[in-house]
Structure 1
Amino acid sequence: MSKTSIFLTGATGYIGGAVLARLLEHPSADTFEITVLTRSAEKAKKLEAFGVKPVVGTYAQLDRLEALAEQSHVVFSCAESDNKPAIEAILRGLRKRHATIGDLPILVHTSGTGVISQPTKGLSVTETIYSDLNVEQIKSIPSTAIHRTIDLAVVEADEQGYAHTHIVLPSLVYGVATNALVKAGIANPISIQIPDLVRASVSRRQGGMIGEGKSRWPNVHIDDLADLYIKLFDAITRDPEGTGHGWAGFYFGENGEHSWYEISKAISVALVELGVSKSEEPTPFTKEELIKYWGDEDVGLYSGSTSRCRADRARAIGWKPEYTTADMVKSIKPEVEAIWKQTQEQGEIKLKIPQMIAEMQI
């Protein structure tokens, strides 16, 4: 019996590692032949122990990316989601596979709800709520939006008929990943957005927020998000034509929404309980602080934008997320405690937000 060839990028990352861990636990895992690309020779050896075929390399090696995609029936793109040359290389590989062996390969690409974000600077909330079942609404997203250039290239591949493409759009992802790859020291266990707000707040010894914290974003727990990828994969496997793809293949990852004030308030309360701060009320970051902590005012303001959506299509394929916004708020205190302890031991910890914006993995 032939095995399903799968190529996954981002195996050592937060989202990609969680997805790979779930694939390895899948009831049909014995029928998968999984290949991953990793920069680390040390992690490559660890991945081999999980029955994964690692290829040591980088996303700058476009010929290698193209070849690995060409060799795979399914590609999970879970890293550097706005790296246009890398995505184009993957798409070239899928085109070649279709042309040479007649296979209709599958691409599950990771984008993010940043694509529908609005620069409200923590001062207001937009009324528009996007549904992943509303194709015309999805089509109306401006071409200049973050992530959009790559999303359009992925959809075009589907329209040209050489691949079925699906796009997962995670919202604010939270929670400490505890899967087997994390325990083995392979995958990253923590997210970016909340931890970096915590780091900035710890540094200033006071919970901080953008503007008045009124803007809102959706959120999703890392375990629920990984489950969405698997639910989508299973739906595709059962009914590739009947499972939404192309313009009908956008799947939001959300299970509720929060205001940025809620996050900053929880950080502030935790800092008071630790004796780091005297006030449970967060205060606005100044322009100087935005530049200090994020390197650029506009980058810092991203955590005061608004992004609102409903994962209707995702739920229609059987996805049933369990963690709620209340769970997200509860998860903040342990993160504050851990980062405060780390700061005490190692000094000020550099924020990862500039890297996040560069790689666009939200």
Structure 2
Amino acid sequence: MTTKGSVFLIGPGFIGLQVLSELLQEGYEVTTLVRREEAKRKLEQLGAKTVVGTLESADIIRKHAAAADITIHTATADHLPSVAAVLEGLRESVKQGKTPIYIHTSGCSAIIDKSDGEYASDKVYEDDKPETIDSIADDAPHREIDLAILKARKEIGSKAKISIVLPPVIYGLGQENRLSIQIPTLTRFALKHGYAGYVGKGKAVWGQVHVADLARGYMTVLHHAEQASGEEVMKNPYFFVENGEEYSWLRIAEEIGKAAHEAGRVQDPTPREIPPEQWGDLFGEGSLAMAGQNSRNRANRLRALGWKPREKSTFASLSEDELPVMLAEKGEFKGYKVAGGS
């Protein structure tokens, strides 16, 4: 029998499967929310329990969040009803005398600027200075959901341990050969259009993290919550997870062009600006927010807790692991639909 707590995992996808692997390796009892029978069988073969439902299944989410010791939401940063259901479940758990843990996935789109890539910003957010993150605009990407969590966190107080994880650009080959969003979308664009490109002027900078390092970051946040008091966790909800690499979107386009050129799919590796009329093959109206603005941050809190990145670099991962998967893909790529337009 497991000596670890019970976990309700919402979103066993690119991030979630990697987190699930870490949880199972450490002996947690994990129940995942799953939509399809095929995925249900695979997850159960891995050792997880499953419950069939979607992000719209509020009663199911509330019930399982109330029953679990730990809830981790990795499905999306932009679905308020599922988060509201989790928060209701936490309230029920607290009424039962438990001190539940909730780790929510937001994202570093929340801290983008409006540079349109004209420059690399010198503004760097640090997660051991929560007041700077609290000061971002209420209408920033992901912020509506984060604010709902912060409001509930204040209402429930130290009786629940609630944290928000904000990943930067995530890269790496995940479980079941799954890929992330930003760099793969730009790469698929290059493979389709025959050139590597960037949105805006390309000078804006984002941090990076490999999905496996990110998953270990979630585990570090979890262990901190398990060991710290409710009062200690209440002091700061935010955790960045970056590996120390920062690249401009122009540099990313250069590396995509180089890798695609070496693969024989792009004749000229020199990147160029992607015109707005082609953004439909990127992130549509959300293209500047996803791949054109500055978003710089430091994971000071995780490093203080002993977390260290150990996976390969962004561009080694692109050329060695991710590009081969994309080269084998069939069908026409038509961009990535951004939830909530952010």
TM-score, scaled relative to structure 2: 0.92
2:69 aligned with 1:73, yes or no? yes
Q: Which amino acid aligns with 1:75?
A: T
Q: For 1:322 and 1:72, locate their aligned partners in 2 and report how far apart those are by CA, in whole Å.
A: 31
2:308 counterpart residue number? 320
- How far 1:330 moved relative to its partner? 1.9
2:204·2:292 contact (CA, 8 Å) conserved in 1?
A: yes
Distance 1:4 1:308, change over 3 A: same
Instruction: Look up the match of 2:295.
Output: 307
Residue 115 (structure 2) aligns with: 120
Once residues 225 and 286 of structure 2 are traced to their aligned partners in structure 1, the CA distance between those partners, rounded to angstroms, is 39
| C-alpha displacement of 1:311 | 0.5
1:3 to partner: Cα distance: 5.7
Q: In structure 1, how many angstroms separate the alpha carbons of the residues matched to 2:324 and 2:91?
A: 49
* CA distance in structure 1 between the partners assigned to 2:260 and 2:29 by the alignment: 47
Task: Work out whether residues 194 and 265 of structure 2, in 8 Å CA contact, stay in contact via their aligned partners in 1.
Answer: yes
C-alpha contact (below 8 Å) 2:72/2:102 kept by paired residues: yes
The equivalent of 2:81 in structure 1 is 85
CA distance in 1, matches of 2:198, 2:283: 16
- Point out the more displaced range, 41-50 or 122-131: 41-50
Please give the alpha-carbon distance, in whole angstroms, between the structure 2 residues aligned to 1:313 and 1:14: 24
Distance 1:34 1:295 in 2: 33
Task: State the SS of the aligned residue for 2:6.
Answer: strand
Q: Distance in 2 between matches of 1:72 and 1:61?
A: 17
Identity value in percent: 35
Note if 1:339 corresponds to 2:335.
no
Matches within 5 A, 1:175-214: 175-178=172-175, 182=176, 189-214=178-203
| CA–CA distance in structure 2, aligned partners of residues 332 and 358 of structure 1 | 27
Report the counterpart of residue 185 of structure 1 in structure 2: none
Corresponding residue number in structure 2 for 1:349: 333
Q: Per the alignment, do residues 18 and 298 of structure 1 end up closer, same or farther by CA in structure 2, a change over 3 Å counting?
A: closer
Report the Cα offset of residue 73 of structure 1.
Answer: 1.5
Corresponding residue for 2:38? 42
Q: Secondary structure at the match of 2:278?
A: helix
| Distance in 1, Cα, partners of 2:142 & 2:71 | 19
Match of 1:57 among 53, 58, 67: 53
Q: Is 1:270–1:337's contact at 8 Å kept on the other side of the alignment?
A: no
Deviation at 1:299, TM superposition (A): 3.0
**Match of 2:291, SS?**
helix
CA separation of 1:72/1:177 partners in 2, compared to 1, >3 Å: closer, same or farther?
Answer: same
User: Which residue identity is paired with 1:223?
Assistant: A
Q: Which amino acid aligns with 2:111?
A: I
Identify the residue that residue 315 of structure 2 maps to in structure 1: 329
CA positional deviation for 1:149: 1.5
C-alpha deviation, 1:60, in angstroms: 0.7
Partner of 2:18: 18
Specify the code of the residue in structure 1 equivalent to 2:85.
Answer: A
Which residue of 193, 215, 223 corresponds with 1:226?
215
Contact 1:290/1:301, CA 8 A, preserved across alignment? no
**Aligned in 2, Cα 1:20/1:264: closer, same or farther, shift over 3 Å?**
same
1:5 corresponds in structure 2 to 6
Q: 2-11 vs 140-149, which deviates more?
A: 2-11
Range with bigger deviation, 2-11 or 192-201: 2-11
Q: CA RMSD in A?
A: 2.1
TM-superposed CA distance for 1:312, in Å, is 0.5
Counterparts of residues 98-177 of structure 1 (less than 5 Å): 98-99=94-95, 101-160=96-155, 161=157, 162-177=159-174
* 3-state secondary structure, aligned to 1:232: helix
Contact residue 161 and residue 225 of structure 2 kept, 8 A:
no
Q: What is the CA-CA distance between 1:359 and the residue it aligns to? A: 8.8
Q: Is the 8 A contact 1:265 1:282 kept in 2?
A: yes
Distance (Å, rounded) in 2 between the aligned partners of 1:208 and 1:259: 12
Structure 1 regions of 5+ residues with no counterpart? 183-187
Residue 247 of structure 1: how far off its partner (Å): 5.4
Letter aligned with residue 326 of structure 2: I
